[in-house]
Amino acid sequence: MKAPSLATTKWRNEAQLTENATILEDLIAEKCDQDEFTPRIAQVKGKIMSEQTVTAEASASRLEAFTRAFNRGRQHWRTRQHLLDTDDLTPGELASITDVATEAKKILKAGDAPLSVLHTRTIATAFYENSTRTRSSFELAARRLGATLLNLDVASSSVVKGETIIDTSKTLLSMGVQALIQRHSASGSARQMARELGDRLHLINAGDGWNAHPTQALLDYFTMSEVRGSLNGAKIAIVGDLKHSRVARSNIRLLTRCGAMVHTAGPPTLTPIDLGKMGVIVHSKVEPAIENADFVMVLRIQLERQKQGLIPSIGEYRRLYRIDSARMRLAKPEARVLHPGPMNRDVEISDELAECSEKSLITTQVTNGVAVRMAVLYLLLGE
């Protein structure tokens, strides 16, 4: 058994000091006399030492399992330079993300101290478009792995003075950044950036326009797999604004390759004309899409689509497409609902369904986002 790291020991000791002080206070309050005091102290000390050992051993064993999962998966990731979308992920790469993320989740759940497996790595995030979940979870994932992290503040960067995002990335590269996590509003920007940078750094696409959001699809896949096991043969309904959704595209590319039967539903004005070519069954009505589904994935409707004349009114959209508990009764009894966030409550999903712990996987998706992004960063950058 490996000894716990210094960081683990220090962290545990701080928690233990607080506990020791409480125990001493209790003993003083009990006013033990001298004869009782010494054996009581020895007894308490023994208990504390054994609890500390058990905690440190459990933490070390989770770290070992995490490292073992990485060692099993690294052979599949050896030749991968970038993560741009889900369409070129091999079965081995996908399986190893699940394997490593499963162990990462145990570490996060136990509240273990940050690891140091990426302590020699420098990672930058550059979000040219707003984000809460993706940016925060990548940041937490990088810190949990011990990497040095730089968050480019786009609003105060030289991009505002007209510097291109390619020059910005080359600048970060010259400072020693080894991986760049980028979100940009232009579809195809990630692939273009990857072509420019070649193998000089690892690029992770955190969302490019309408095109792709691979880590969202991976965390959705991981979340559904935790519930159902294999997704082969599962019916998965994707409902909403399919035209403008990078989440839908990356999910469709991934889920159809895993043998899932993907059905879509959305207003014809928000459904790409050639969506069927992606291997999905396209509906305009929501009912046949969610009937007997294992999972219903709800997409955000951007409220400005109404101004663009793509939906008659929010009220009409709500009436025809909002997913609520009544509509969920068309799906399998055990069916679960997902939403990538941010949500428009009571527009595309009812508030009561979003909050229903038996049906909603929304908070689990967010929790799993950190574990899945830890797996991606470790597999891409680990040694």
- The residues binding ligand CP (CB under 6 A) are 131-134, 207, 213, 216, 340-342
Shortest distance, position 302 Cβ to ligand CP, whole Å: 12
Q: How far apart are CA 144 and CA 370, in angstroms?
A: 9
Shortest distance, position 169 Cβ to ligand CP, whole Å: 20
User: How is residue 31 written in tokens?
Assistant: 């006013």
- Asked about 322 being catalytic, the answer comes back as no
Instruction: Decide whether 276 or 342 has the Cβ nearer to ligand CP.
Output: 342
- Asked about 86 being catalytic, the answer comes back as no
Instruction: Decide whether 12 or 243 has the Cβ nearer to ligand CP.
Output: 243
Q: From the candidates 105, 135, 144, 183, which is the catalytic residue?
A: 183
Q: From the candidates 8, 86, 134, 271, which is the catalytic residue?
A: 134
Instruction: Decide whether 132 or 164 has the Cβ nearer to ligand CP.
Output: 132
Instruction: Decide whether 147 or 218 has the Cβ nearer to ligand CP.
Output: 218
Closest CA to 374 of 141, 85, 160, 193: 141
- 261: which strand partners? 235
Q: From the candidates 80, 106, 133, 257, which is the catalytic residue?
A: 133
Shortest distance, position 4 Cβ to ligand CP, whole Å: 34
Instruction: Decide whether 62 or 184 has the Cβ nearer to ligand CP.
Output: 184
Instruction: Decide whether 69 or 206 has the Cβ nearer to ligand CP.
Output: 206
- 183: which strand partners? 127
Q: From the candidates 18, 78, 79, 161, which is the catalytic residue?
A: 161
Instruction: Decide whether 214 or 340 has the Cβ nearer to ligand CP.
Output: 340
Helix 133-144, helix 214-228: angle, nearest 10: 80
Shortest distance, position 353 Cβ to ligand CP, whole Å: 18
- Asked about 120 being catalytic, the answer comes back as no
- Asked about 133 being catalytic, the answer comes back as yes
Shortest distance, position 127 Cβ to ligand CP, whole Å: 8
Q: From the candidates 202, 213, 327, 336, which is the catalytic residue?
A: 213
Shortest distance, position 128 Cβ to ligand CP, whole Å: 12
Shortest distance, position 339 Cβ to ligand CP, whole Å: 9
Q: Taken in order 237, 240, 244, 245, is the CA torsion positive or negative? A: negative
CA 14 to chain CA mean position, Å:
30
- Asked about 161 being catalytic, the answer comes back as yes
Q: Which residues are catalytic?
A: 133-134, 161, 183, 213
